[in-house]
Structure 1
Amino acid sequence: AHGIWFNDEELKLLKETDTGVSHCPTSNMRLGSGIARIREMVDMGIRVGLGVDGSASNDTSDMLGEVRNAMLSQRVKYGSAGLTAREALYLATRGGAELLHLEKLGYIEEGMGADLALFNLNTLQYAGSLSDPLAALVFTGYNHEADYTIVNGKMVVRKGKLVDIDEEELTWKVNTISKKILESS
């Protein structure tokens, strides 16, 4: 799964057995688990995808936040050679698809699965950083709400709002259930 404490022999075994790793840096940081050797895994050709883990150890499930934390944690471990913004985003897209052997996902091309998230970079949080829009998305801003999200060709978020779900009602239901769980424990 997270692969925090793999030694050199175990990394070789991952490569030899074509075993991939789901890197969940926010969970690892929250739990104080350590920093995985992702730079080395990528360089060895080990399949690495990016995940958010679960709500018990990652409260936001913010994939762009995960991309940012993957990049920054690798830079803490390896310096500026850790991961670039593009490499970290690759782990969240193509890397995840490759990890799960989903050949029709992870990139934009005719005939592929249409899963897209679109972000408005013409906002104050991104002001002055648009010379490299991809790096701006990863390095700057903390509000990673997509303006538009398309899943398998279907629009699920339009202008920042869920299309087929009443967000107020859903929030109320989740809070009600959470309160009942807390009261019963």
Structure 2
Amino acid sequence: MAATPHRIVIENCAIATVDAHDTEYASGHIVVTGNRIESLGPGPAPRDLPDVARRVDGGGHLATPGLVNTHHHFYQWLTRGLAQNAGLFDWLVALYPTWARIDEPMVHEAARASLAMMARGGVTTAMDHHYVFPRGCGDLLGAEIRAARELGVRFHAARGSMDLGTSDGGLPPDFAVEPTEDALAATEEAIDTHHDPSPDAMLRIAVAPCSPFSVSTRLLREAAALARRKGVRLHTHGSETREEEHFCKERFGMGPTDYFESTDWLGDDVWMAHCVHMNDADIAAFARTGTGVAHCPSSNARLAAGTAPVPALLRAGVPVGLGVDGTASNESGELHTELRNTLLVHRLAGGEKAMDVRRALRLGTHGGARVLGRAGETGSLEPGKLADLVLWKLDGLGHSTIADPVAALVLGPPAPVTLSLVDGRPVVEHGRLLTADEDDIARRARDQSRRLARIAAG
């Protein structure tokens, strides 16, 4: 007979469920059994629950679903703080020669650092878009997957690709791109080796050619067909800058959204990063097809790309989640700061009613889960859903005078994480990782960053 899973009980905390009704409790409880939420509600938990392994007093805290990151580039952890005053295209031109020198040890340590920073800040589901595969560099996707497994974070690995180098009119150097056939074969192998379609999956694979200006039309079309044949999701960059729009019109005779639709890259199994420069017709196409958006406000600001039309996307019913983006364009590497930045950016652009604290929290939780195709499993606190949740400390100096706990989380300084559960297992307690040594991660990442700089310098 199988052993009965032990229960974790969290009580006396405020709860923002982010369910369909935005149910909240000023003081409530959550019961976790195994890797699932068994029950939750107002007041204390029943005292006669059997098999309780742990009771957590959540007084002074807010419980929310774990944050869901929908766009990242882990390898960029090693090149933070460079090309500080460049826009996207100049920034890429400056950094591609360095990125083209990465190898497996570098990517493993960059992934550990990126995941550690996010997990410590409340991320329970992480995603990475890795598209740089220099020849002879080792198993870069495997290095990321190992890091996520080590740290205990739910992970969506998007196997990216580029086949359009500078000699073919693309931005990346030729030695940083793959032949089209090799990219497709490696992507299919990644799916066959790693993808887990089960509802409890800790690891899923997506098909993710990089962008219109680094990928051939053939690769886009065949990657879309591959993803649908394998039943996995598709991801890429889209409509990030005015330069991208001009590139698409000059090369393909149409804007990015029309180009993506012509290559079978719109659909409810697709999500795109950024989507900053979209007109009404573009938004309508995303809404009609169910195509999702990973909104990256800090990165967009760092690269002066512009402000994505997120309020208009939401009004149209487009799925929208939040993304850190690579840490070479968002050096903080944290998603919980994106809650605040989302609110501030859209109020600057659209006025005081353009974004509120609860909508920002929804984007970072349920919105992200929806974009990744997992809203039925995670992204809200409901009985039967995966036990991916965060207990934020809000009774300290930075938050104690903000009566509304959701406002305290979104508008206040980054809140300490007292407890983060991923799949029902503690990953962070009292602001520190339980699954790895943060000081060791920092040291190893620094060493690999310096090694990459030496190699790139020649």
- TM-score, structure 2 length as denominator? 0.39
Q: State how far apart, in whole Å, the 2-side matches of 1:109 and 1:16 are.
A: 29
Alignment match of 2:408 (pick from 136, 141, 150) = 136
Q: Post-superposition, which runs of at least 4 consecutive aligned residues in structure 1 deviate over 3 A?
A: none
Structure-2 change in CA distance of 1:177 and 1:144 (3 Å)? farther
Q: Which amino acid aligns with 2:346?
A: Q
Secondary structure at the aligned position of 2:421 is classed as strand
Secondary structure at the aligned position of 1:74 is classed as helix
Where does the alignment leave 5 or more consecutive residues of structure 2 unmatched? 1-272
> 1:112-156, CA deviations, whole angstroms, 9 ceiling, x for partnerless residues?
111112211111111311x20111111111x34422111111101
Other-structure match for 1:122: 395
More helix by share: 1
**Counterpart contact for 1:65–1:144, Cα < 8 Å:** no
Where does the alignment leave 5 or more consecutive residues of structure 1 unmatched? none
Correspondence 1:172 to 2:443: yes
Instruction: Report 1 or 2 for greater relative contact order, CA contacts < 8 Å, sequence distance ≥ 6.
Output: 2
The aligned runs of 1:88-127 (5 Å cut-off) are 88-102=360-374, 103-127=376-400
Correspondence 1:52 to 2:324: yes
> 1:42-63, CA deviations, whole angstroms, 9 ceiling, x for partnerless residues?
1111111111111121112221
| Overall identity of the aligned pairs, in % | 37
Greater Rg, structure 1 or structure 2?
2
Q: Which amino acid aligns with 1:179?
A: R
**Number of aligned residues:** 183
Q: State how far apart, in whole Å, the 2-side matches of 1:166 and 1:64 are.
A: 21
More strand by share: 2
Structure-2 change in CA distance of 1:150 and 1:113 (3 Å)? same
**Counterpart contact for 2:393–2:415, Cα < 8 Å:** no
Q: CA deviation at 1:100?
A: 1.5
CA RMSD of aligned residues (A): 1.1
Q: State how far apart, in whole Å, the 1-side matches of 2:352 and 2:378 are.
A: 29
Other-structure match for 2:346: 74
Alignment match of 2:333 (pick from 34, 50, 61) = 61
Q: CA deviation at 1:73?
A: 0.6
Structure-2 change in CA distance of 1:50 and 1:80 (3 Å)? same
Other-structure match for 2:267: none
**Counterpart contact for 2:324–2:338, Cα < 8 Å:** yes
**Counterpart contact for 2:394–2:415, Cα < 8 Å:** no
Q: State how far apart, in whole Å, the 1-side matches of 2:324 and 2:278 are.
A: 20
Secondary structure at the aligned position of 1:22 is classed as strand
The range that moved more, 92-101 or 145-154, is 145-154
Other-structure match for 2:455: 184
Secondary structure at the aligned position of 2:274 is classed as coil
**Counterpart contact for 2:324–2:335, Cα < 8 Å:** yes
**Counterpart contact for 1:62–1:144, Cα < 8 Å:** no
Q: Which amino acid aligns with 2:446?
A: N
**Counterpart contact for 1:114–1:152, Cα < 8 Å:** yes
- TM-score, structure 1 length as denominator? 0.95
Q: State how far apart, in whole Å, the 1-side matches of 2:287 and 2:369 are.
A: 17
Q: State how far apart, in whole Å, the 1-side matches of 2:415 and 2:409 are.
A: 8
Q: Which amino acid aligns with 1:105?
A: T
